Structure formats: structure tokens, C-alpha cells
Amino acid sequence: MKRKLIFAIVVMGFSGIIAEIVLLRELVITFHGNELSIGVILANWLLLESAGAYFLGKKVSRAKRKLGLFILLTILFTIFFIAAIYASRIFKDYLSVIPGEGLGIMPMFYVSFLILLPVSLLHGALFTWGCKLYFLYSSSKTSKTSQDKLSAFSISRVYIYETLGTMVGGVILTYLLIPYLHSIKIAFVLALLNFIICAYLIKPFWKPNITIQKRLVSIFLFSLVPLTIYVIFSSNADQLHFMSVEQQWKNHNLVHYENSHYGNIVVTEREGEYTFFSDGLPVITSPNPDLVYVEEFVHLPMLSHSDPRNIMILSGGAGGIINEILKHDVSRIDYTEADPLLPEVVKKHSTPLTENEFLDPRVNIEKIDGRFFLKRAAKNYDIIFSGFTDPATLHTNRFFTKEFFSLAKSRLSSDGIFILGLPGSLTYLSSELADLNAMVLNTLESVFPYVKVIPGEINNFYLASRSQNIEDVSPAEMIERKEARNLEVNMLTPGYIEYKLQARWLDFYFNNIEEATDNINHDFKPLGVFYSLVYWNEKFSPSFNNIFKQGAQINLYSSGLVFILFFLIFYTISSRSKNFRKPALSLCIFSTGFAGMLFDLILIFAFQVLFGYIFYWLGLLVTAFMAGVMVGGMWMSSYIKKAETAAPAIIKLEVVVIVFAFLLPWIFLNAGPLLVHKWFDATLRIIFLILSGISGVLVGAEFPLANKEYLKLSPNLSGTAGLLYSSDLLGGWLGGIIGGVLLLPILGIFETSLVIVMFKITSLAIFIIALKKK
């Protein structure tokens, strides 16, 4: 029976990582690809798992049919996983949110919390129940082992077996399931595996000496297997998938739905008009684009240049932009998209406009991330168009940073122009919108000697150059160039050009940003994401936004004061308890969970900044982390068999975590410039996996040690397993919420790592003091 249980625990870990990553991907798509939501989603997953491990897990000691309830929890987990995928796609219908409409942080929090609630809660409970069952099936055969050692060994073994399943699940999900199956079918494949293991655990109904009740349960479990196989291989799973997607895009004629390495692409059609959505946001409309935006965005910079020949477009080129550029006498247009799959999807649903754009021999479409292409480009450009209009995500923020602007500057000809747009207004700039625009302007001015702002009612345009020509060119000269080039335009008449460039609009703009932020946006300190989030929160979560904006005051000094105050309060309260080591151990595990989550987020954020396709690599990074957890758990499990006390090892491990947290950001800060070499791509990806594995080892190693030490103080196995597992997950929850939403966007990767250092120093100091107060 013990061997069956081990297999069930491995499947439990396998199921957990697949459910976590699949739901994470579904929710990130629903939240428009905002990577900050990753921290919120992971935090809620861990919070609910900890609640399940502690509150539901506590009932295992009193339950009579422990194995039967373990099977019931597994079945319920499987069913709720399928329901959660469906709910993640349709919830906007119940919030009266239309496709393309954004969500603030608070809706992200409570929506993900409610959707994950049953799945995570049940999976957390399975861990504690698995620990107790493993202990029960081991104790009958290990009579010579002391109760304390056996309890600690049982917890660490379940931790390792679950992590092994997690590691295998992450690899299979990334390479076998995601490329070939949609999320609903993945959930049914997982259900099949879980139903098989449940039937495997229970005594078969055809065996003699079995009660009627058990026989009926066995028949039910065995019948679930062929039923699930039928659903998978018939059209039922596909029908459920299409039904949920159609409800997600209610009142739209959905003609294409596809996940790529970069995100989700959807195409809707209405009376021959195609709209292309990337992660739920409209990015291309054809054949009737927004003429005002397209003509202003293209012709104002093109007319500001005396002879634009070589052009680069970074995103949003199809469906109008390329067509307008081709009206000028250009030699070549290099075009990349935020999602390299998007041009292929546009070709599948082409219109006369996009056909003419793509068939023109001067247009060269590159199926590569725009930043990568620009870094390796061998030529300079007269104009570089950045079609990104908001640094709302880490993926788009990569095109609004000082590092990227420096790259763009190096790829411009001597009088070349770089242009981008941001949300704007000619009547009222809110403080949130003023901060967003001011930050981008500050960042541009830190790189380019000349920056020209063209305010607009919907979009503000920023033209940057090494040449003073962009400031010297007059409306009259632009009108003259327009006539000389025989441009056929609809909106950009001579009168409109003069109106657009009136000095009063500049006066209005600069008056409104006079008291705005003076911050600069960086790759690894993505303030652009924070200011964009503040701007959108004002629209969709205004009641929460005032509190959220106070997060901008966070710095290392205030963080240090918080930890000093925390140390004093924790010490004052906990030192009065009967055994100070209990809360000290819980704090060590809590702070390690906090550090582990932030290590995860730092790696995820850094990968997205450097490569741009974290959507595809999420599973691999989490898998590498969990592989490290397994190695760390196995390493320390063998150690605690021989050691009488785990305290010295805990102290050493705390020190190693502190050193790792201090060194981690230096790797990424020095990696960016090396990406110009193609050979370094694969090397750096391997480094990411290694670093993720190392962080997993550090997290996984401390859990068995803490259990060993805690069980010496309290021999209750299920209580200890539930408490410390919950402490680990709660620490991860805090790291996800605080770290993902505030620390990383505001402090950046380096200073966030120093926050980890301060927290771990605090927990280490308290643990050492607790040991001396025996």
C-alpha cells in the first residue's frame, strides 16, 4: 500500500503544478498579459494552499477513513480544476466588463482568489493528508525508528515525492501538453490520471471480502476512467472549450483563438472588419483603421525628416501604418511584432489593405522580438516607429526604458528620428496621466539631446533624435514636404498640421507635467509599469488607488525601519511564550517562503525583460525551481536521519540564502549587453534554469530541517506539517502580493533583493536569540 501511496503523492504534485500553470496562463490572458498579476495569482494560490494544508489538514487526525477522504479530495480537486478554467474565461460577463476593458489590481486580486479558491484549498489539504497517510503506512514497518524521527522523515519524504511530481509535470506540460492541447483538454487528461490513481488506491470491486459500500465506491471510481477517456477522444472536451471561449467573447464573431509563446491571439470579424487582439487588447484593425491616429503617427515624423528611406516598425504596423509609410519614397521597411506569430495570423485573415502591405517588396517581416532584432541589426534607420502606446506590462515596458532608448539611438542615422506615443489629452491631464507622460519624457531626455513633444487629444507623440532638425522644422516646411511627396491623406491637411503644432498645446502640456515625477524608467526598475498601473487603477479601482499610490514612497530606508520595528515587536511578543524556538522556526520558514517567491518573481521579471516570452517559459522556470526544492529536500532528509539537531544547519542555510539574494541581481544587470551575441541566448536561458534550481534548493532544504527541529518541541505530526507548510506558503503569499505589485516595479530587482537580505537577517537573528534562550 505504501508504494501505491507514493505514486499517488507524485501524481498529487504533478497535478498541482499543471493546475497552477494552466490557471495562471488563463488568468494572465484575462488580465491582458500584465505580468504583475503573476505575483497576485501565485500569492493567492499559496495563500489558499496554506489554508487548505492547515485548516482542512488539521481534520486528518480525527478522520476515521483517511484514505477514503484523500481519494474524495483528489476527485473534488480534479472537478474544480475544470470548472476554474471555465470560470477564468467567463467571469467578465458577470462583472459587466467588455472584452478589451482593463482591470485594476483589486479586481485581479479578488477574481483570482475566488477562481482559485476550491482548487488550491483542496490541493493544500492533500499535502497534509498525504503526510499522515505516509506516516501510518510507514510506522507498521519501521518499529525501530523513533516517533519523532519517523514523523520528520514522513513529512520530508512527502515533500520530496510531491516535488518530484511537480518537476515532471512542469516538463510534460511545457513540451507535450501546451503545444498540442487546449486548457480544457489538458484538464481532462489530468482528470483521467487522477481517476486512475484513485481507482488504484482502493480495493477493486471484484475482490472478495469487500463491503457493499466499498464495492459501490470502487465501481464508481473505475467507471470514471472510461467516461473520461470518452470525453477526451470525442468532441465533448473541444465543445466545452469553444463554448467557454465564445462566452468569453460574447457578442463578438470569433474567427480565431490561439496561444503562442508570447501570449494569446484572438481575431473577431464584423461585416468584413477584422480586429486582432493580443492578450485581450485590440492591436490591429483592418481594413478600416483609426485614420486620425495612423496618419498623425506616420506622417508627422516622416515629414519631420528630409529624406526618410530606411524604416523600422516595432509593433502595430499591419493594417494601416505600413500602408501610410509606403506613400513616401522609402527603400525598405523592417517590421516586427510584440508577438511574432501575429503577422502570420494577419495573413490568415487578410484584407486588401494588409495584402498590399505584406506583398510590397520593400516590406521585410521579421519573426523575432523587436528588441532582439534591433540589438542585432547591422544597419541604421532614418525613422524607428515604436507602436507600443503604454508600458502597462513588463513586455511592453521593455520598449520605454533608458536601456532601450539607448539601443534605439545607436541604430538611428545621424538625423534619424525615434517616435512613440502615449495616452494624452488637450483638455485635462490627471496627475496619474501626467506622471506617466513625464516619466517617459524624462527617460527620453536622459538619452536623446533633442526631444519634441506633439500633444494630442487622445495620444501624445514623442519624437527623439540626435539632430536638432526635429526642433527646427516648421509647420510650413512640413507642409512643403507633404506637397513635394504628393501624399494622398484624409486628415493631415495643411490647416490640420498647423493646428496640431500650435504652441498653446505645448504650453498646456508642460504646465500640466510641471509638478509630475522626475523618475526615469529602467529595464530592471520598471517604474513605467507602476505608473501605468496607477493610471488604469484610477479608471477601474479608484477607491483603492490612493492607497496604492502611497507605495511609490517605498525605499530601502523605510524598508529597513519596518524590519527593525518588526524585530522588536516579534521579539517582545514571542519571547514571552513557553518555547521561543517555535515562533522563531515558523518565522524562518515564513521568511524563506517570502524569499522563494521573490526569487521566482525576480527570475520571471528578468527573463521577460531580457527575452520577452515568459508566457512560454513559466512552466520551465517553475519546474527548475521545484527540481531544486526536491534536491534540497532529499539532501536534508538524509542529513536529519543522522543529526540529533538541525539548528546549526538552519543557521548555515539562512546565511547562504542571504548571500544568494545579494548576488542574484548582479547577474542580470551584467547580462543584457551580452545578448548581442546569438550564442549567449541559450547560455543565459540555461543560467536562468540553474538559478531557479539553486533558489529551489535553498527553499526545499530548510523545510525538512525546520520540521526536524519543531517536532522535538511538538510531536504532533499533522499539526507540525500543516503549520510549517502554511508558514512557507503564507510567506510566499506576502512575497507575491508585496513583491510583485510594489517592490519589483518601484525598487527594482537589485533593491528588492536587498529587502530579502534584510528580512532573512531579521529571521536569522531571532532564531539565534531563541536558541540561546533554551
Domains of the chain, start order = 253-283 (no CATH), 289-536 (3.40.50.150), 554-774 (1.20.1250)
Which grid coordinates belong to 230? 470518452
Backbone angles phi, psi at 261, to 5 degrees: -65, -20
Kindly indicate the confidence band of residue 300, based on its pLDDT and cuts at 50, 70 and 90: very high
pLDDT digit string (tens) for 722-746?
788 788 888 888 998 888 888 888 8
Distance CA 537, CA 531 (A): 10
Nearest to 239 by CA among 178, 195, 185, 179: 185
Nearest to 119 by CA among 33, 245, 15, 234: 15
Q: Cα-Cα-Cα-Cα dihedral of 709, 713, 715, 717, to 10°?
A: -50
pLDDT for 742: 85
Q: Is the pLDDT of residue 153 over 80?
A: no
Distance CA 658, CA 664 (A): 10
Q: Cα separations (Å) of 488 from 324, 326, 352, 717?
A: 9, 11, 18, 79
pLDDT for 145: 47
How large is the angle between the packed helices 581-610 and 748-772, nearest 10 degrees?
A: 170
Distance CA 748, CA 750 (A): 6
pLDDT (mean) for 191-213:
78
Distance CA 135, CA 142 (A): 10
pLDDT for 673: 59
Kindly indicate the confidence band of residue 170, based on its pLDDT and cuts at 50, 70 and 90: confident
pLDDT for 191: 95
pLDDT digit string (tens) for 227-246?
999 999 988 999 999 999 98
pLDDT for 119: 96
List, in sequence order, every beta strand (DSSP E) within 366-503: 381-386, 412-423, 450-454, 459-465
Nearest to 80 by CA among 40, 22, 13, 163: 22
pTM for this model (two decimals): 0.85
Q: List the beta bridge partners of residue 130.
A: none
CB atoms within 10 A of CB 503: 7
Q: Is the pLDDT of residue 204 over 80?
A: no
Place of cell 481517476: 195
CB atoms within 10 A of CB 483: 9
CA angle 522, 527, 432 (to 5 degrees): 140
- 583 touches 577 (CB < 8 A): yes
CB atoms within 10 A of CB 227: 12
Which grid coordinates belong to 313? 516598425
pLDDT for 103: 67
List, in sequence order, every beta strand (DSSP E) within 476-530: none
pLDDT digit string (tens) for 448-470?
999 999 999 999 999 999 999 99
- Rg (alpha carbons) of the chain, rounded to whole number: 29
**Higher pLDDT residue, 520 or 218?**
520
pLDDT digit string (tens) for 96-149?
666 656 667 788 888 999 999 999 999 988 888 888 888 777 765 544 445 555
Nearest to 518 by CA among 541, 552, 474, 475: 552
Nearest to 89 by CA among 19, 178, 28: 28
Distance CA 767, CA 758 (A): 14
Label residue 504 exposed, middle or buried (CB < 10 Å: 0-12, 13-18, 19+): exposed
Contact residues for 697 (Cβ-Cβ < 8 A; gap 6+): 628, 629, 631, 632, 635
| Beta-strand pair 381-386/310-314 | parallel
**Higher pLDDT residue, 403 or 669?**
403
- 720 touches 151 (CB < 8 A): yes
Nearest to 185 by CA among 295, 248, 259: 259
pLDDT digit string (tens) for 29-39?
888 777 778 88
| Least confident range of 150-154, 309-313, 622-626 | 150-154
Can you spell out the DSSP letters for 733-744?
A: HHIIIIIIIIII
Can you spell out the DSSP letters for 14-38?
A: HHHHHHHHHHHHHHHHHTTT-THHH
